[in-house]
Amino acid sequence: MTKADIVNEISKNTGIEKVTVQKTVEAFMEAVKDSLASNNNVYLRGFGSFIVKKRAQKTARNISKNTTIIIPEHFIPAFKPAKTFINKVKGNVK
């Protein structure tokens, strides 16, 4: 499902114009990105959490050059679904 599909689905279910729904969806995504960029998690009860995870420093190898490099500690965005979300998805998988 793409962003356009989500906009169409919300517009169809609510009767709100697609342009308005698209602006709202994009504003939501921008708010999540800005929050995570400033190291604040986003919690949506019943859906899940957008969180910032810390990756520790590690040593990696460049096989083609046969060299070792150090990847510094860094932060990555992650999504942790709520239990109700997980149970709904599990119920559909057979």
Determine the pLDDT at residue 33: 96
pLDDT tens track for 38-76: 999 999 999 999 999 999 999 999 889 999 999 999 999
| pLDDT class of 91 with cuts at 50, 70, 90 | confident
Number of domains in the chain: 1
Q: Tell me the pTM.
A: 0.78
In the structure encoding, which two tokens stand for residue 26, read together?
Answer: 């994009």
pLDDT of residue 27: 97
What residue numbers bound the domain in which 16 lies?
Answer: 3-92
* Helix/strand/coil percent split, the chain, to 5: 45, 30, 25
Report the C-alpha gap between 13 and 32 in whole angstroms: 24
Q: Which residues contact 77 (CB under 8 A, 6 or more apart)?
A: 36, 50, 51, 52, 53
CATH number at residue 72: 4.10.520.10
**Total residues belonging to the chain:** 94
Q: How far apart are CA 33 and CA 36, in angstroms?
A: 5
What's the rounded mean pLDDT across residues 7-19? 96
